[in-house]
Amino acid sequence: MSVASAPRVLVIEDDPDIWRSLELLLQGAGYVPSWAADGLAGLDRFADDRPDLVVLDLGLPKLDGWTVLERLRHLSDVPVLLLTARGLEHEKVRGLLGGADDYLTKPYGNDELVARLRSLLRRRPPPHDDLTVFDDGRVRVDLARGGVEVAGSPVVLTPTEFRLLAALVRHPGQVLTHDQLLELAWRQAPGAGRGRIKFAILGLRRKLSWTDAETSPIESVRGFGYRYVAPLRG
């Protein structure tokens, strides 16, 4: 990847040790990192640099991460990866509702961080509804004709299960809310029978042999919805 096309990643993080390790990691992964050590500096830096992606710590001096996120969302639809503290799981949901694209809990693994960034950058521009075949090596979904294969073997899904899977893989890494899933897979009004989503997800995971909740590519985000997690590789 040439320097000219290398994605620019702005890290808004007040801990200099974390920044230094992120700087090395991001450079090694082919990105051009920049740093702001507080929320106000982060917004200034964002306006100056127009980065391709923002890594945002939530606990920041001068302006906290929530406020930074809110202001970023008024300015831009740049992908934002939140760094949240361990044990504050509810922050995930708040962050996603606030417009973050993804989150990682500290301490995170370097490989996982890079994989998440790649996934966020791949998603730009946003997913096209005219995608005809989704294939990430884990599952192949023929969105035009309706076929699904796992490891080269066809899997038979119900029409609802297929629409559910199609909705999830069209938005890899992005959480779809219960209401969005009802609309996309059932063509139902918001709020109608959310229990059916859980039931259909269970069926889908079973048919795709993704029943282990820890490793299933279809991740449940409590109180919010589900997302298709991009594979950790590359």
> Residues in the site for Ca ion, rule: CB under 5 A?
14, 57, 59
Rounded to whole angstroms, how far apart are CA atoms 81 and 101? Answer: 6
Q: How far is the CB of 185 from Ca ion (least distance, A)?
A: 38
14 versus 102: smaller Cβ distance to Ca ion: 14
**Helices 65-75 and 39-49: angle between axes, nearest 10 degrees:** 20
20 versus 198: smaller Cβ distance to Ca ion: 20
14 versus 101: smaller Cβ distance to Ca ion: 14
Q: How far is the CB of 225 from Ca ion (least distance, A)?
A: 28
Residue nearest to Ca ion (CB): 59
Q: How far is the CB of 207 from Ca ion (least distance, A)?
A: 42
30 versus 59: smaller Cβ distance to Ca ion: 59
Span between the terminal Cα atoms of the chain, in Å: 14
Q: How far is the CB of 43 from Ca ion (least distance, A)?
A: 16
Rounded to whole angstroms, how far apart are CA atoms 171 and 201? Answer: 16
Q: How far is the CB of 143 from Ca ion (least distance, A)?
A: 41
62 versus 207: smaller Cβ distance to Ca ion: 62
51 versus 65: smaller Cβ distance to Ca ion: 65
Contact 148/142 with Cβ under 8 angstroms? yes
Q: How far is the CB of 34 from Ca ion (least distance, A)?
A: 17
Is residue 204 exposed (0-12), middle (13-18) or buried (19+ Cβ within 10 Å)? buried
